[in-house]
Amino acid sequence: MVNNNMQLFGGGWTEQKLDMLNSYLDAWAKVMKNQSFERLYIDAFAGTGYREAAPTVPDTGFFAAELAEDEPQEFFDGSARLALRIRPAFDRYVFVEKSRERFAKLLELQERSPELGERMEFFREDGNRVLQDLCANWNSRNMRGVLFLDPFGMQVDWVTLEAVARTKSIDVWILFPMGIGVNRMLPRNGEIPDGWRARLDRVFGTSDWYEAFYRPARIQGFFETEPRMVKTGSFNAIAEYYLDRLRTIFPAVADNPRVLTNSRHMPLFLLCFAAGNPSPRAKQAALRIAEHILNKS
């Protein structure tokens, strides 16, 4: 039963993001298996560890009812469960979930994968806070990791991504809410509420996004032309802007992010990849694998 303050989103994009993440984790594990680094998988918005055919998404005011999908309520493996199946196994698994209800389900992973139970760490906290603390104590000389950022909305702060990038040893898959979040907070007339501006500033790490997505124009009124701001930022413009922002902090960013749409072909998310290690060999290998995965139909 779905809570009254939730909306359903689902469809092929759910399978796509998890299939691509699984493919990367499998390839990454094979590349790293003979190296001496401590290997971490980090899921900062882990949910229950499972996914539903129609995942629930909080109604934060940024999600449109017309994007909702009617799908059967069936459970499948989510990102956390998929990561636990990768072999060779990771040395540590860091799972973060703020919701009390989802966190209780997440803890069941220890019972279902007892052989890996001691490797799992669980945090019922804000994902940004946990990631920033983890990265502040990261030892890049002997640690390597893969981070999956799949928030329910626009919860990932730019300062968190900066902290991750500073480790220089964490590869990141980011599900960026391009359509269901950012685009819906960019009204055509440019009149953006202060709360939305603040949220967009935190997501992009700058307020320059306004100049990127709007331009001044003169609109013909009843008696005279009036100066107005008009929206010029398309989905492509939003995607390119976000990729450019990622390139300012990560050594390499995949140029072919996947646009994930619902069954009505409306863009919902942008699945992005950023390589953390600045070593030419490491970032080229990571980028080659990720771009190959993103290119698959």
Which tens digits make up the pLDDT trace of 116-149? 999 999 999 999 999 999 999 999 999 999 999 9
Could you tell me the two tokens for 33? 């298996």
pLDDT-derived band of residue 282, with 50, 70 and 90 as boundaries? very high
- DSSP-derived 3-state class of residue 72: coil
> How high is the pLDDT of residue 174?
97
Answer whether the bond into residue 151 is a cis peptide, omega within 30°.
no
- Residue 39 domain-assigned (yes or no): yes
Q: What is the CATH number of the domain that holds 73?
A: 3.40.50
- Residue 228 domain-assigned (yes or no): yes
CA distances from 207 to 73, 159, 236 (A): 40, 14, 19
Lowest mean pLDDT among 32-36, 144-148, 156-160, 226-230: 226-230
Which tens digits make up the pLDDT trace of 195-219? 999 999 999 999 999 999 999 875 5
- Residue 1 domain-assigned (yes or no): no
C-beta separation of 269 from 17 below 8 A: yes
Angle at 292 between CA 287 and CA 297, to 5 degrees: 145
Contacts of 150 (CB under 8 A, 6+ apart): 17, 43, 45, 47, 79, 175
pLDDT of residue 36 exceeding 90, the answer is: yes
- Residue 177 domain-assigned (yes or no): yes
The total of structural domains in the chain comes to: 1
Q: How far apart are CA 216 and CA 34, in angstroms?
A: 57
In this structure, are strands 38-43 and 143-149 parallel, antiparallel, or unpaired?
A: parallel
Could you tell me the two tokens for 235? 């989905």
Write out the residue range of the structural domain in which residue 270 sits: 6-295
- Residue 87 domain-assigned (yes or no): yes
Q: Side-chain half-sphere of 249: how many Cα atoms within 13 Å?
A: 22
pLDDT of residue 256 exceeding 70, the answer is: yes
pLDDT-derived band of residue 78, with 50, 70 and 90 as boundaries? confident
- Residue 271 domain-assigned (yes or no): yes
- Residue 122 domain-assigned (yes or no): yes
Q: How far apart are CA 15 and CA 17, in angstroms?
A: 6
Which tens digits make up the pLDDT trace of 180-198? 899 999 999 899 999 999 9
Lowest mean pLDDT among 29-33, 55-59, 98-102, 136-140: 55-59
> How high is the pLDDT of residue 61?
40
DSSP letter, residue 207: S
